[in-house]
Structures are given as C-alpha cells and as structure tokens.
C-alpha cells in the first residue's frame, strides 16, 4: 500500500508540476529519482516527466530504449510493433517468453514495461498514423524501410502547434517532433538524430558551472591596431581569481560567459551581466578579461564569486533525406568541432582522411536499405550472394552521390559523400543485416535513450549520425554452424555458431555486486545464454533493495524493496531465461570471507565480472583474479560517463595497475570549521556535525561506561601527557568540546530524559553552533583584524560572519530544532527503533507528533535563552594565527582537567544505554538529511552564503554518485563484447579499454596495455653519502617476469621453512635472506631474517604452522602466497623476484 500510494503521488507530480521548486518539494519523487537528478538536474527532469515518447519496433534495441526511458520517468510511453513474436526475439527482448511466441510484440511488452515505473503511462499503439505520431514529443524507429523513415522524419519536422502570442492572438508555431532512427546489423549499429531546424543546446556537458573566487579587479588598457593602420587604446578589466577549496582546479574556458555575485564595490556589477570573458597571450595565470567596468560607480573593493554561465547555442538539424546523401560539412565526415555535423568519431584514424569506418558503415547500410526496397525484405543471414548484391547496390549509391559532387550538388556547406566503398565492411554488414546481437542492443539502447533526454537542451546531441562497430569481436574464422535452430539464440548463433553458443552456456562465472550494473549484466547473461547449460553464475551482494534503486536497477520492483538484491535479481533472471543456473548469495567478497570464497571456488571459475561501486572492493577482486589467473571484466559509471577495463592474465595489465581513481579536492579543516565560502563547505560541515552530535558521543559513552578509568587515562595521556607545544595545545583544544559533549550525554542519559529534554538540548546546540562559535571567531578576529603579514584578515575567501538566533517562523530554523531533538531522542533510546524505509507512509510519518511546529513552540516557550558559553577557535592554518587574540593554554588545561575530574564522578552513573545514529541518506523519515540540510543552511546564513536545496545536501552529504540507467545499459553492452573477445582468445590488439560519455558523444576506446615486464636493468644513481654518481644494477628473477608470474612450490604442506628456502635458492641461484608472513601490501610478521639469529629457530618449523601461528587461516586453501620472500644476488643486492606461491 505504501508503495502504491507513493507511486500515485509521483504520478500526480509528473502530471501537474510546472516548475523545479515544486519538484524539489516532492520527497517521494526526489527519493525515487535522486541519482538521476544528480546527473540530469531538476530543469531537465521537469521536461523529461512531461515528455511523450513513441517507440516503433520492439526487438532488442527497441525494448532497451523502452526500458531505459520508462525508468527515467517520461510522462507517456507508447509502443508500436504489431509483428508477431518469433522465438529468436527471445535472444534480445527480455520481456518475451516462449509462451508469447506468435503474439503481438507491442501487446506483450506494454504491461511489462508499465511494471518498471507505475508513474509512467504505457500503452500499445495498434496502428501508426499521423494523428498518433503527432501526439508525441519524440518518436524512435527501430523498424521500417528507408522510404518510410524519410516520410516520417519529414512529418516530424513539419509539425506545428497553436499557441496564444503576447498580444492574445492564436498563432501557429513550429513544434518539430524529435526523430530518432536506430538500425542494427550484427555487430554494427547506426543512429540518426533529427531535433528539427530550431533546436537550442543550453548545456553542452551537463556539468556544474565552474565557480571561482574573485581576488581583484584591475582596470587596464590595451593598444589595438585598427584597419587603417592606426592604433587606439581600449579599456578592459583584468579579473584575478582563485579556486574555492574542494572545487576542481582549472581555468574558465576562453570566450565563455560569467556572472558576478557578492562583489563589494563596482556597484551594480552583481546585477549586470553575464559578461563575455577573454584571455590573451601573456596574461597571468588565474586571470581573465572582461570589458571595461568604468560604467559601474565606485571601484572594486573586495570579494566576489565568479560563476560560469552556460551559453545557449542554436543547432539547425537537417532532414534524414539530406543527411543520407550529404551527411557532413567536414572533409573527413567526422564531427570535431561544435559547428560540425556528420559522423561521431569512433576510430581516431578517421580524423585524418575521408573514407573512415564511420563513413563506410553509412555506405554499407545504404546498400542494405536499397536491397530491402528492391526485394521487400532484408538480405538473408550469412547469404554470400545477398551480401554481394548489397555491395553492388552500395557502390551504385556511392557512384550516384559522387556524380552529384561532380556537378556541384552541395547543400549549403554540406558536400555529397564521395568515398570508395570498402568491400569487406559492406559485406560484413550485409551478411548480418537484421541480426540484433544482444550486447549491441544494450549499448545502443542506452545511447538512444540518452538522446531523448537531450530534447531538454541538456547534453550535446548526436549531430547527426553515430555509426559504431565491434568487428574485432567477430570470430577470426567464420563459423560453419550458423544455421538457425528455431531457438532463442538464433541471432547469436548466426554470428558466432552453435559450438560457441554451447560454450557460453557452460561458463562458470562469478559476478560481484548486484546493483545497477549487476542487473544489466544478469539480463545480458540470461539473454545470451551464458550459464544456461552445464555452467553456473554465482552472484553475491550483501545489500538490500531501496526505493532509490528502482529507477535504474530494472530487475527490481516496488514489492522487492527490503529484499536481498542478489536473491531478487536471480528470481527475475529465471523469468527472462528459465535455463539460467544462478546461485544468489549475500556474502561480502573480502579478505574476511576467504573461507566462503575459497581456493576451490576461485579455481573452478572461467571468468569474473565486477559490478561494484567502490575502489577498495574492485582492487581486492582484481588481486584475487591475478592470484588465481582469472580474466576480469571491469566497468563503472558516473552520470553519463563510463569506463570499460578488460583484464586477461599474462596478456593485459591488471585493473590495479591503472592506479587509484582520481579523488576530488579535499577541503581543509580550517575552511570547514571557520571559513566556509561556498555552500559545499557548509554541507560537509553539517555532515560532520551529525557525527559529532549523534554518533561519536553515543559511541564514546558506551566505551566510557565499559571502563571509565581506562578511558580517562587514555584521554590524559593523549592531551596533558604530551610535551608542551603546539601539538599539546591542539590536542587539548580538540578534546575539550568532545569531552563536553560526552559529559552532557552521560548526564542526560542518567537523568531519565524525555522529549522535552531533547528539545532543550537541540536549542542549546542551535545557540552553540550558530551564535557562540561565531562570537568566539569574531572575538578572536574582529572585522578589522590583520594577518601576521599585516594584511586584512577578512579578505580573499574568508567571509566575515554573523551570529544567528532561532526564529520559528523560518522553516529552516524549525526544521533544525525538530530534526535535532528527534535525533537526540533516538540516541538516548527515547524513540524506539525506526521501521525500515519501505514502510514509510507519507500520510502517517514516523514520529509525526514530534514534527509539529506547534508542539515545538510550546516546549521552547518554557525554556530561557541559553547563556553564551565561551569556547576556543581551533583548526587554524599557520598564516591564520598571526592576527587575533591568542588562546590561554593554562586556562584550556585547567578546563580540561576539570572536565576529566567531572567525568570521573560520572563513572558509576546508571543509564538506559545509548544508540549511535547509523547515517542513512535514503530514508526521508529518519531526520538525517533533514538535520544536515537545516544545519548547512544555517551555517550558510552565518557566512552570507546562498542556501542549498535539500536534494543538493543529500547528494553531497551522502556521497551520492550520479547514476542513470542509460549509461549503465550502454557500458554493460561493451563489456559483453569484450567477454566475447576473451573467449575467442583475441590478441591484445583487439581488446579494448576505454572511456566514453553518452552525454557529450565522446568514445575514446583504446587497446589494452600489456602487463609491465620486470627486467634486470642498469641505471645511474647519485650516492648522497659519497656525493658521486654510481652505476647500479637491479636483478629480476625470472628475467623478465610480470605480476602474474609466480615461483610455485609444490607439496608445501609437508615442508619446513628451511626446505622451502632450499628449493627456492636451488631454482633461482639466489639467496633468501628474509621471510615474513602477510598478504601483499602488509607489513608482515618476520619469521626469518639472516641477520636476526632469534628467527633461525623457525627454519625447521613447517610453513603451514608458521602461517597459522601468525593469524592466517588455511581452511579451504590449496594455494597461498602468505609467505613473502626477500632475495639477494651474489653482490648482496636486493632482487625483484616474482611472488612465491605455496601449493599445499
């Protein structure tokens, strides 16, 4: 009931909302689409939820588009495809079952698509007419011949609508329908996009506008040479800026628009603009030029924020008919600049000359489409004669177009396509025309769905062709067993053959993670028949389904919320393909579960697929694959961007070799604690306050109550026990507020607290955070304070703050007090446990009676205003400590000593216990995000920073990575293609890693790199002691070797350490001088060192005993690398040796 009602509310929102502020207030909507809103933004979402989409053709790519777009939350999804379902359709359409064969594709799909998002209106269309098409905002064709596609494109371009103009008169204006056509031909796909002649691109990349802090604005002049040879001086203003703490570095793009705010001086500049900025050779770094600011009264004084303004740009799209013969306005046909139209580049070599593979695919598909017009059907699969005819028809098309060029057949700046047809490419396309290979459907399904989003003006649309191929995934030799078998796998068999299909069915595959990526992978595996024979698919994920998962993890429905992800996905996989053998688990994959996923498990696998969302887990799985020699499929997404990494032992680098993912710029503690200057700092501060108020005190109280003496002794040692100096002073300053909170928590816990007690505590926290701490800071650094260099202290990024007192007429203040009081009630166990979020009821919210502002006001009316409590100002950088009044160390030490004594008296206090808050960003009834949002905006009010909406606070505080179904579907399609290559033992030149972005249409795919070869090498090294340059040789053993190589010791279970060392020394002719127990990267326990005589007693000890004695379990292990051996050569120099593996 709760979910049905919630979706009803979302549907009402989608039907009635007229502005983004209304969307932001709808918590059910914001929760369901939180990750997508992070990628698209609210303005694009507002347009998306009003969009009516028609999809014509519901085989593989059509149903992928329907799935992704329905999950995205469009208003209406209409489905047209009257054709009867064939058994082979089950290989690419995940909604069809064997019982559906012979039924209408659209009729079967519609109710199942509707299950994905009950807020979307989904219905089948029985007949395709102009009236039907005209009712939609976008139409996607994945079926139809060339003549029909041209006809419908022209109709879409010419649609108009009637509106009332500003004078009140009805007028007819252009309202073109977005037209998309997607064609699949085996391992080739083609997308054509037509947004109409009046399309406006408003945001080319969808990224947050760059923000800089203004540090100075200087009037300047430059001498400009005029056309008549004379010169004149022209004024301009040079703007100096810095990057805010925690924001990405980098300059603003040249010729962009910028808007000023918060500038002191230049009266009126904050309200003017935006301004065109420029840069010239020789200008200082971190500066830009704008026009003269002499028109603004008063000179620049200080401060200011500079924000990039996304500039709208018109893109006139041309018709399909024109783009078939005149596809591009560039010499190569490739789109390289903003004004280019033609083919999206998928092969970098196509940049340098006409006739690249993108153009060849275009010619090839024209040959296929001409064949279809001529014969009324597509070429037969694997029919060489039909493929030859396609080639001849393609040549005729190219010749006809070339003759147009010879006779000046240009259309504006668009030349007719004139290239020599490539017979190999065209015949490949002709052999598999009409085949929908599932990975290609997934890849293009995501791209087409993202193009629908671009109707909003956000993200760069395809202009106007995307032709992609995966020829490197084809078998090196064409299989001979490609005849159709009247099975669901016939399309895949047509390309790869029956024997290879059987191999897929018998794979033993382990997938780690079952979220958005995992759902798509499982769908792909089931459709392709992976693990559907004697093979098996193990899936593990210890997470459970949440509401926010439902709009991108398509295997889950509202009735699955709260269930284990792997279990629910496994059941849905059996519906897609009953033959799949799946073992769904909820075990974490980590060093702590190596008894679960033991050696026998890993050695039994053929391949591993990661579907993870964190680097630590990715690196661990990568390490296991290196150790056991298993191929790894790796991928990830962030918004519209994605990456693919394929790892094959001994052939490619491992995933870890790519290095740590780039981390965002950290925010210095002094900025968070004292000098925030953008809202992000306030949100991070609010998240830290959540820990300081509702987590750490409860945990500390629990530790304290277990052993008060031990706790206090440690606190004394960590503060008063330190030597006098800065470290001691800093430790004391940090300990005092923490211990004050502990003391307060213990006292309250022992006083039989009530909800009224919690309101009093919340009120005290309000005054302490937003009044007292600000007063402390201003007392230490008055408005006229100077730095140690004599410069104004409150300058640059430092904003002079103001104190704030609670005002219950302000929603922000009331929300803070209500959330804080209820969180204290939870910590003090006054509230009982909160039910899981799937039971949230918007009409009967948890603790509704304590959300009432009247209740809050009645309690506050009995409380006096808390007295100001002086505190210290800590977390200052060295340059910040020169000005202001210095802290009295002796006073702080006295305060700490008193606190410790008072805590000692509380050691025997009796309480009902404490419950630390467990931060959960996706439960809108638990007060967590409510608190952080209110705290962040109150902090912003202290520092005159514009406040943030709740959703932005949730995204930043919850570390939410923008995620959308479109990118996820696309990247898993490419990963499947790499899996096919691995199984065909393709050379490294065919294995493709890469990064792509379906928002900006960039596809940077490149060959996988081979593993690093560790070789014996000689180099020059400067000796710091002798002050001379010396030649040094580092020996490698084996020479060369890679991280995949190992020195294997057989039968090690019965060997002593001495026997293992003897074997290794005999084999390597090197000396083992040290051995330790530990995993790679650990500082292991030394069990032998030639220079440490006490360790020699371990030499006669069995290696298994040494390993277990040092905390490593051998349960379920048949091979380990827990012993780390250090080798040296005859010159006593260290040797870079391969790892040692003991086979037990």
Which of the residues are catalytic? 670
- Range 937-957 burial, b when 16+ CB lie within 10 A, else e: bbbbbbbebebbbbbbbbbbb
Torsion 550-556-557-558 (CA) sign? negative
- For residue 989, the SS3 value is helix
Residue 364 tokens, joined: 């090839």
Unique residue bearing structure tokens 């009676």? 849
d(CA 366, CA 750): 82
Helices (DSSP H) in 408-506: which residue ranges? 423-431, 438-453, 490-496, 498-505
Residues linked to residue 1068 through DSSP beta bridges, in sequence order: none
Question: Are the C-beta atoms of 329 and 354 separated by less than 8 Å?
Answer: no
The closest alpha carbon to 576, from 1125, 1106, 97, belongs to: 97
Neighbouring C-alpha atoms within 13 Å toward the C-beta of 1129: 13
Question: Are the C-beta atoms of 478 and 186 separated by less than 8 Å?
Answer: no
Question: Are the C-beta atoms of 393 and 370 separated by less than 8 Å?
Answer: yes
Helices (DSSP H) in 102-229: which residue ranges? 105-116, 130-134, 146-158
> For the chain, how long is the longest CA-to-CA vector?
101
Q: How far is CA 506 from CA 29, 99, 611, 850, in A?
A: 43, 25, 21, 58
> What secondary structure letter does DSSP report for 769?
I
Rg (CA), the chain: 34
Question: Are the C-beta atoms of 189 and 443 separated by less than 8 Å?
Answer: yes
Residue 77 tokens, joined: 């999804």
d(CA 729, CA 125): 75
Q: How many CB atoms lie within 10 A of CB 906?
A: 19
> What secondary structure letter does DSSP report for 186?
B
- For residue 358, the SS3 value is helix
Q: Which helix (H) or strand (E) holds 162?
A: strand 160-164
Helices (DSSP H) in 269-383: which residue ranges? 320-325, 357-375
Unique residue bearing structure tokens 């019982």? 99
The closest alpha carbon to 313, from 288, 278, 340, belongs to: 340
> What secondary structure letter does DSSP report for 988?
G
Neighbouring C-alpha atoms within 13 Å toward the C-beta of 238: 13
Phi, psi angle pair for 161, to nearest 5°: -140, 155
The answer to whether the bond into 274 is cis (omega within 30° of 0) is yes
Phi, psi angle pair for 194, to nearest 5°: -140, 105
Question: Are the C-beta atoms of 279 and 254 separated by less than 8 Å?
Answer: yes
d(CA 45, CA 120): 14
3-state helix, strand, coil in the chain (%, to 5): 40, 20, 40
Residues linked to residue 178 through DSSP beta bridges, in sequence order: 138
The answer to whether the bond into 621 is cis (omega within 30° of 0) is no
Question: Are the C-beta atoms of 126 and 81 separated by less than 8 Å?
Answer: no
The answer to whether the bond into 379 is cis (omega within 30° of 0) is no
| Length reported for the chain | 1144
d(CA 1048, CA 1041): 14
Residues linked to residue 790 through DSSP beta bridges, in sequence order: none
d(CA 1035, CA 55): 64
């Amino acid at each position: 009931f709760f979910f049905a009602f919630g979706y009803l509310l979302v549907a009402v929102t989608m039907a009635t909302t007229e502005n983004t502020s209304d969307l932001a207030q709808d918590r059910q909507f914001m929760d369901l689409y939180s990750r997508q809103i992070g990628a698209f933004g609210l303005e694009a979402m507002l347009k998306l939820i009003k969009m009516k989409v028609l999809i014509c053709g519901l085989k593989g790519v059509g149903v992928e588009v329907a799935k992704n777009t329905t999950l995205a939350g469009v208003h209406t999804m209409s489905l047209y495809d009257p054709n009867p379902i064939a058994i082979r359709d089950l290989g690419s359409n995940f909604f069809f079952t064997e019982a559906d064969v012979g039924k209408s594709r659209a009729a079967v799909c519609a109710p199942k698509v509707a299950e994905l998002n009950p807020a979307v209106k989904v219905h089948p269309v029985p007949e395709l007419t102009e009236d039907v098409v005209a009712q939609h905002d976008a139409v996607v064709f994945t079926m139809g011949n060339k003549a029909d596609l041209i006809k419908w494109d022209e109709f879409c371009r010419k649609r108009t609508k009637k509106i009332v103009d500003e004078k009140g008169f009805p007028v007819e204006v252009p309202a073109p329908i977005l037209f998309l056509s997607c064609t699949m031909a085996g391992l080739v796909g083609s997308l054509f996009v037509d947004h109409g002649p009046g399309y406006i691109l408003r945001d080319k990349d969808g990224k947050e506008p760059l923000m800089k802090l203004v540090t100075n604005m200087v009037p300047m002049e430059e001498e400009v040479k005029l056309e008549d040879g004379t010169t004149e001086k022209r004024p301009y203003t040079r703007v100096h800026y810095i990057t805010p703490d925690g924001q990405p570095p980098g300059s603003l793009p040249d010729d962009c628009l910028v808007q000023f705010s918060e500038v002191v001086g230049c009266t009126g500049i904050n309200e003017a603009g935006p301004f065109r900025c420029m840069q010239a050779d020789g200008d200082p770094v971190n500066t830009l030029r704008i026009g003269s600011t002499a028109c603004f009264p008063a000179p620049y004084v200080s401060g200011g924020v500079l924000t990039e303004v996304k500039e709208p740009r018109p893109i006139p799209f041309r018709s399909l008919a024109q783009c078939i013969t005149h596809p591009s306005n560039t010499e190569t046909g490739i789109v390289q600049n903003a004004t280019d139209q033609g083919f999206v580049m998928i092969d970098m070599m196509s940049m340098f000359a006409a006739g690249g593979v993108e153009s060849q695919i275009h010619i090839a598909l024209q040959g296929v489409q001409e064949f279809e017009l001529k014969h009324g059907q597509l070429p037969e699969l694997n029919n060489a004669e039909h493929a030859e005819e396609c080639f001849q028809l393609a040549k005729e098309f190219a010749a006809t177009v070339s003759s147009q060029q010879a006779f000046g057949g240009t259309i504006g700046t668009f030349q007719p396509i004139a290239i020599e047809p490539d017979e190999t490419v065209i015949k490949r396309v002709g052999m598999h025309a009409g085949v929908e290979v599932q990975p290609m459907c997934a890849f293009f399904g995501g791209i087409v769905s993202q193009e629908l989003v671009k109707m909003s003006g956000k993200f760069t649309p395809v202009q106007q062709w995307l032709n992609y191929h995966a020829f490197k995934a084809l078998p090196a030799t064409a299989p001979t067993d490609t005849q159709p078998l009247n099975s669901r796998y016939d399309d895949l068999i047509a390309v790869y053959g029956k024997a290879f299909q059987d191999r897929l069915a018998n794979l033993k595959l382990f997938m780690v993670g079952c979220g958005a990526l995992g759902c798509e992978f499982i769908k792909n595996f089931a459709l392709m028949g992976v693990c559907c024979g004697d093979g098996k698919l193990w899936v593990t994920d210890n997470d459970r389904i949440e509401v926010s998962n439902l709009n991108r993890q398509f295997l889950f429905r509202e009735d699955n919320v709260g269930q284990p992800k792997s279990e629910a996905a496994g059941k849905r996989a059996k519906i897609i393909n009953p033959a799949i053998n799946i073992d769904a688990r909820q075990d974490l994959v980590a060093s702590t579960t190596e008894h679960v996923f033991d050696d026998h498990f890993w050695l039994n696998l053929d391949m591993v697929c990661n579907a993870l969302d964190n680097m630590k887990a990715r690196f661990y799985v990568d390490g296991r694959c290196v150790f056991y020699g298993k191929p790894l499929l790796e991928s990830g997404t962030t918004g519209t961007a994605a990456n693919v990494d394929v790892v094959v032992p001994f052939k490619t680098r491992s995933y870890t070799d790519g290095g740590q993912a780039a981390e965002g710029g950290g925010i210095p503690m002094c900025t968070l604690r004292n000098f925030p200057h953008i809202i992000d700092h306030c949100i991070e501060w609010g998240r830290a306050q959540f820990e300081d108020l509702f987590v750490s005190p409860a945990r500390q109280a629990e530790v304290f109550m277990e052993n008060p003496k031990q706790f206090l002794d440690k606190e004394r040692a960590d503060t008063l026990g330190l030597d006098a100096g800065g470290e001691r002073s800093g430790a004391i300053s940090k300990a005092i507020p923490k211990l004050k909170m502990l003391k307060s928590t213990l006292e309250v816990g022992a006083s039989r607290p009530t909800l009224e007690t919690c309101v009093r505590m919340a009120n005290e926290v309000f005054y302490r955070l937003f009044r007292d701490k600000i007063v402390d800071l201003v007392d230490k650094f008055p408005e006229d304070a100077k730095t140690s260099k004599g410069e104004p202290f409150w300058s640059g990024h430092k904003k002079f703050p103001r104190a704030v007192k609670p005002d219950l007429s302000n929603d922000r203040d009331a929300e803070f007090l209500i959330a804080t009081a209820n969180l204290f009630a939870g910590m003090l166990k006054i509230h009982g446990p909160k039910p899981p979020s799937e039971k949230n009821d918007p009409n009967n919210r948890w603790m509704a009676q304590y959300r009432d502002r009247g209740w809050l006001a009645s309690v506050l009316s009995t409380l006096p205003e808390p007295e100001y409590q002086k505190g210290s100002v800590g977390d200052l950088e060295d340059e910040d400590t020169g000005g202001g009044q210095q802290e009295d160390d002796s006073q702080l030490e006295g305060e700490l000593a008193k606190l410790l004594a008072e805590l000692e008296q509380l050691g025997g206090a009796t309480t009902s216990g404490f419950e630390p808050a467990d931060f959960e960003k996706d439960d809108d009834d638990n007060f967590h995000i409510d608190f952080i949002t209110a705290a962040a905006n109150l902090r912003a009010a202290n520092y005159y920073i514009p406040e943030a909406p709740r959703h932005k606070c949730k995204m930043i505080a919850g570390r939410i990575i923008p995620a959308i179904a479109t990118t996820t579907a696309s990247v898993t399609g490419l990963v499947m293609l790499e899996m096919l290559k691995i199984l065909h033992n393709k050379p490294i030149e065919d294995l493709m890693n890469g990064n792509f972005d379906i928002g900006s249409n960039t596809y940077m795919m490149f060959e996988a790199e081979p593993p690093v070869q560790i070789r014996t090498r000689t180099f020059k090294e400067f000796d710091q002691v002798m002050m001379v340059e010396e030649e040094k040789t580092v020996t490698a053993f084996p020479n060369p070797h890679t991280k995949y190589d190992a020195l294997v010791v057989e039968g090690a279970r019965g060997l002593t350490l001495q026997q293992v060392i003897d074997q290794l020394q005999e084999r390597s002719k090197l000396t083992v001088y040290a051995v330790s127990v530990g995993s790679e990267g650990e500082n292991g326990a030394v069990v032998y060192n030639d220079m440490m005589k006490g360790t020699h007693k371990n030499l006669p000890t069995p290696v298994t005993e040494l390993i277990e004695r040092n905390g490593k379990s051998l349960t379920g292990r048949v091979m380990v690398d827990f012993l780390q051996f250090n080798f040296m050569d005859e010159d006593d120099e260290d040797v870079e040796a391969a790892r040692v593996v003991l086979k037990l």
